[in-house]
Amino acid sequence: MSWKTLDDMDLAGKIVLVRVDINVPVKDGVVTDATRIERIVPTIKDIVAKGGKPVMLAHFGRPKGQVVPEMSLKITVPTLEEKLGQPVTFIEKPSRDEIAALPEGTVVLVENTRFTAMETDNDPKMAQFLASLGDLYCNDAFSAAHRAHASTEGVAKLLPNCAGRLMAQELGALEAALGKPERPVVAVVGGAKVSTKLDLLSNLIEKVDHLVIGGGMANTFLVAKGVEIGTSLAERDMADTAREILAKSETTGCKIHLPVDIVVAGEFAAGAANETLPVDQCPADKMILDAGPATVEALKGVFAECKTLIWNGPLGAFEIEPFHKGTFDAALAAAALTADGKLITVAGGGDTVSALNKSGAAKDFTYISTAGGAFLEWMEGKELPGVAALG
């Protein structure tokens, strides 16, 4: 990868435009999860320490090109100030002169970039305007890097640019996981639908040695193999596609792993009466809600054989007990191998992060990406505009 980092740039006396992702959850006017804000702190502090003046560019919500007061970034200022340990100057309509007049060491936050449609249209005029505000551009928002917007791609092409600390960390972790990984590599892909992850599966079976398919997706593959799955969630119209993926995996040398036993119940509800059965014995009036213990044991064996694990998606309905057990037990096994220095583990995607946090496995994973769409598109092998524009 050819991108530069903050260490490659002379920041002294420079105004540094920093694209960050602080699109955080808010309730009753208060930030309820500051994870994304916490993750940009090293970049902002570094810029200040090196004599630069950081000007943060970010979006918040989906105002669809309109000024929506409830989606003003001003709401994030108290949390930003708390995490950075210094005041943050909020500017609604920025100008170069106003920013330049601020004292050295000032941290600036500009209003929601999506308050104009020019942002999402990647309008050259907006990119030019943003470029006029600063001397350098730093992208620290991997989670927005799959969008070709004025603040993620357009402006990057107009100024000397680099990756922020979080972006560099993320790209390094991803390169280690799929670019030049330690082999063998295993990927765990779960979730409800095969149709939403076709590109992902097609890319992975060319890149990894083992592919574990879980969740509702696994049911579609079971249907493709002629296994009856009762009332379980499945995309029966995707059975032919699933068969094509299974056939392709044989030519690439990627071994696909599906459940060997299942946890079934008559209803999708917490605490529902359930039983564990061999995968081919799902009753006609029951649904599969989790992978069984024998499946998890088999996965532990696969993990132990491998050097690198990439994880996107749960193995079952982890949101409700007791159908969390398959995902949690497998995640904890991967975490233990990581803690022992035997496995590199990289995970990403909303459900995945939630499951790893709830299971207690997250603290031992090598890297967990908070990016959703960008992480998925990277796993699919697609070029991310916000990354491609750096360098």
Q: What is the pLDDT of residues 289-347, one digit of tens each?
A: 999 999 999 999 999 999 999 999 999 999 999 999 999 999 999 999 999 999 999 99
- As a whole number of angstroms, the distance between CA 360 and CA 333 comes to 11
Q: What is the pLDDT of residues 46-89, one digit of tens each?
A: 999 999 999 999 999 999 999 999 999 999 999 999 999 999 99
The pLDDT of residue 1 is 55
Provide the residue ranges of all domains of the chain, joining segments of one domain with +: 6-168, 181-379
Superfamily of domain 6-168: Phosphoglycerate kinase, N-terminal domain (3.40.50.1260)
The pLDDT of residue 179 is 86
Residue list, annotated binding site for ATP: 197, 319, 349-352
**What value does the mean pLDDT take over residues 12-20?**
98
Mean pLDDT is lowest, of 52-61, 105-114, 312-321, 349-358, for 349-358
- As a whole number of angstroms, the distance between CA 8 and CA 178 comes to 25
- As a whole number of angstroms, the distance between CA 279 and CA 62 comes to 43
Q: What is the pLDDT of residues 123-170, one digit of tens each?
A: 999 999 999 999 999 999 999 999 999 999 999 999 999 999 999 999
- As a whole number of angstroms, the distance between CA 39 and CA 386 comes to 18
- The residue that leads in pLDDT, 155 or 196, is 155
Assess whether the region 6-168 and the region 181-379 belong to the same CATH fold. Answer: yes
The DSSP 8-state label assigned to residue 328 in this structure reads H
Residue list, annotated binding site for substrate: 21-23, 36, 59-62, 114, 147
Residue 373 appears among annotated catalytic residues: yes
**36, 53, 83, 207: the active-site residue:** 36
**105, 350, 360, 391: the active-site residue:** 350
Range 181-379 classified under CATH 3.30.365.10: no
- As a whole number of angstroms, the distance between CA 135 and CA 133 comes to 7
Instruction: Please state the pTM of the whole predicted model.
Output: 0.88
The pLDDT of residue 314 is 95
- As a whole number of angstroms, the distance between CA 18 and CA 386 comes to 13
How high is the mean pLDDT of the chain? 95
